[in-house]
Amino acid sequence: MSMTGKAAVLATLALGSIASAQPCGGGGFWMNGPGRGGPGAPNGGQGAGMGGAFGLGTVLPVLMRLDLDEEQWSEIEVIMTDTREEIDSLEEASGGTDPRGRFLEAFGSPDLEVADFEELVDSMHHSRERIMEIEFDTLVRIHDVLTDGQLETVRSMTEEGPGAGCGGRRGCGR
């Protein structure tokens, strides 16, 4: 696969990471909080969405260090397209990805009650859990595309120290 093709697959992964993190607003309706990568989030500010401390956001630099062939890149592209479509469908069914807008709609209601916020938070929590399930399934599907040798390379990255291969202290490809 050409560098342009690889870049397209990685862009799909990255855009999916950014987009799917949006409905994961568990900490606050209008600010970054726990589950959105902001203050109070688990794992040092890494949210639970695709770009979190583990997940598809972590896989991006790892995939770049592996010698994937054209067929593997194509399979990963199909997997990511399926994932994006599944998450988009979930977001559409759950009322969208704008937690701030949903908060303002509830807050602007003429007959606001505590139950309105409880219902909103429950809905957002359910969406976040479902997205995490989709992400985990996607990770397994990507894992299954890799060869034994590539998985050995991934395991060796843990021996290189914290953050090796994943944009951490030592950075990617160093």
Distance CA 158, CA 84 (A): 29
The pLDDT assigned to 74 comes to 95
Q: Tell me the pLDDT tens digit for each residue of 31-69.
A: 333 343 333 333 333 333 444 556 778 888 899 899 899
The pLDDT assigned to 9 comes to 63
Distance CA 117, CA 57 (A): 30
Q: Tell me the pLDDT tens digit for each residue of 5-29.
A: 665 566 555 555 444 444 333 333 3
Tell whether 13 is covered by a domain: yes
Radius of gyration of the chain (CA): 18
Residues near 114 by Cβ (< 8 Å), separated by ≥ 6? none
Distance CA 57, CA 49 (A): 9
In this prediction, residues 113-133 reach a mean pLDDT of 88
**CA within 13 Å, CB half, 61:** 17
Tell whether 167 is covered by a domain: no
The pLDDT assigned to 8 comes to 58
Q: Tell me the pLDDT tens digit for each residue of 69-121.
A: 999 999 999 999 999 999 989 888 876 667 788 888 888 999 999 998 898 88
Q: How many domains would you assign to the chain?
A: 1
Tell whether 170 is covered by a domain: no
Tell whether 165 is covered by a domain: no
The pLDDT assigned to 163 comes to 54
Residue 126 predicted with pLDDT over 90: no
* Helices 114-145 and 56-65, axial angle in degrees (round to 10): 20
Q: Are 83 and 136 in contact (CB under 8 A)?
A: no
Tell whether 46 is covered by a domain: yes
Q: Which domain holds residue 126?
A: 3-159
Tell whether 166 is covered by a domain: no
Tell whether 101 is covered by a domain: yes
Residues near 170 by Cβ (< 8 Å), separated by ≥ 6? 160, 161, 162, 163, 164
